[in-house]
């Protein structure tokens, strides 16, 4: 069975490795088909594709778009996209446009909570200043020795109800699905088990997503428990969505699952990659 991993992050967003390093690592870890899906960012794709091609790794161009749905942040992965699509490029520019100002507000909240210099501190970890996000702040707080790792930081800061959480309006669901479609790709709901929606809201989101042309849902992801693999396998089957698998790898010290290390998709699902693989 092919080892397919269609979700991970490079330095171009909030991962720790360059696109080249990730491609080599994916190959070493036994991945056969690999996608790079940086947050709201396409700039790593050309390098990732070139290195993947050199080492005989099938590459799928991807992106993970931040959206706001019913007041909460949701992530939509776009797969097999054309990264030269102007609609997608312009759309992502509008999403990223909000990150810098949000970063300033995060830093102000952290300063009030006793964490000084956080904006400059986080920027050191952001290869792209315009991609600045919570993971970069978390790395700075680890550097200060306040907590041992980024997961601990997220438990105490940066999430809803804690200092450093700034409510933010990202793209809409319709925009994200539309941009991905305009770029010839398939839209996938990322890590559905992570959203704090009740059943009615989740079903409504799924319904809108499919009406808009959304194609898939992540079933096996680094953010799900084994029970959730089964739960979202059922959702994929009953809704007719294609199933995806992705580690959501950011770096060895931060991610529970390395590239290619997750279990396979449960049987009887149609993989999102069914007509892409060589």
Q: Tell me whether residue 85 or residue 247 sits nearer to Mn ion (CB atom).
A: 247
Tell which one of 4, 6, 8, 14 touches ligand AMP (CB under 6 A): 14
Stretch that binds Mn ion, among 14-22, 27-35, 170-178, 197-205 (CB under 5 A): 14-22
**133 lies in the site for ligand AMP, by CB under 6 A:** yes
| Stretch touching ligand AMP by CB under 6 A, among 18-26, 120-128, 130-138, 260-268 | 130-138
- By beta-carbon proximity to ligand AMP, the closer residue of 151 and 208 is 151
Q: Where are the beta strands (DSSP E) in the chain?
A: 4-5, 33-36, 58-69, 72-79, 186-189, 216-221, 242-246
The only residue of 66, 85, 223, 228 in contact with ligand AMP, by rule CB under 6 A: 66
Q: Which of 58, 68, 128, 151 binds ligand AMP (CB under 6 A)?
A: 151
Q: Which of 145, 136, 149 is nearest to 14 (CA)?
A: 136
Helices (H), 32-172: 45-55, 86-96, 99-112, 118-123, 134-143, 150-156
Among 11, 25, 27, 75, binds Mn ion (CB under 5 A): 75
Q: How far is the CB of 35 from ligand AMP (least distance, A)?
A: 15
User: If binding is defined by CB under 5 A, does position 218 make contact with Mn ion?
Assistant: no
Distance between CA atoms of 114 and 156, rounded to whole angstroms? 13
Nearer to Mn ion by C-beta: 85 or 223?
A: 223
98-101 long-range contacts, CB within 8 A, separation 24+: 98/168, 98/169, 98/170, 99/40, 99/130, 99/131, 99/132, 99/133, 100/129, 100/130, 100/132
Site for Mn ion in 47-66 (CB under 5 A): 64
How many helices (H) and strands (E) are present in the chain, helices listed first? 10, 7
By a kind-dependent CB cut-off of 5 to 8 A, residue 27 interacts, out of Mn ion, ligand AMP, none, with: none
Task: Note whether 135 binds ligand AMP by CB under 6 A.
Answer: yes
8 A C-beta contact, residue 154 and residue 138: yes
Q: Which two tokens stand for residue 70?
A: 């019913």
Nearest to ligand AMP of 64, 83 (CB atom)? 64
CA distance 265 to 227: 13
Q: Which residues bind ligand AMP (CB under 6 A)?
A: 14, 39, 66, 133-135, 150-151, 154, 159, 250
Q: Which residues bind Mn ion (CB under 5 A)?
A: 14, 64, 75, 190, 248
């Amino acid at each position: 069975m092919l080892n397919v991993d269609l979700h991970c992050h490079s330095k171009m967003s909030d991962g720790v490795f360059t696109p080249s390093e990730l491609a080599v690592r994916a190959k070493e870890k036994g991945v056969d088909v690999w996608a790079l899906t940086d947050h709201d960012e396409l700039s790593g794709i050309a390098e990732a594709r070139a290195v993947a091609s050199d080492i005989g790794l099938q590459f799928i161009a991807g992106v993970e778009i931040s959206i706001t749905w019913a007041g909460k942040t949701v992530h939509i992965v776009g797969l097999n996209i054309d990264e030269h699509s102007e609609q997608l490029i312009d759309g992502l520019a509008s999403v990223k446009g909000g990150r810098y100002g949000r970063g300033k507000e995060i830093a102000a909240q952290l300063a009030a909570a006793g964490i000084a210099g956080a904006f400059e501190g986080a920027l050191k970890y952001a290869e792209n200043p315009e991609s600045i996000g919570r993971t970069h702040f978390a790395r700075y707080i680890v550097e200060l020795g306040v907590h041992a790792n980024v997961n601990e930081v997220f438990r105490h800061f940066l999430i809803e109800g804690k200092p450093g959480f700034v409510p933010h309006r990202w793209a809409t669901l319709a925009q994200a699905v539309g941009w991905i479609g305009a770029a010839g790709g398939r839209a996938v709901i990322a890590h559905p088990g992570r959203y704090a929606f009740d059943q009615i809201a989740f079903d409504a989101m799924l319904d809108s997503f499919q009406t808009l042309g959304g194609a898939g849902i992540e079933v096996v992801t680094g953010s799900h428990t084994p029970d959730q693999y089964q739960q979202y396998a059922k959702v994929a089957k009953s809704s007719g969505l294609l199933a995806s698998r992705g580690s959501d790898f950011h770096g060895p010290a931060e991610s529970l699952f390395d590239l290619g290390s997750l279990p396979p998709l449960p049987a009887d699902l149609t993989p999102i990659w069914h007509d892409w693989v060589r």
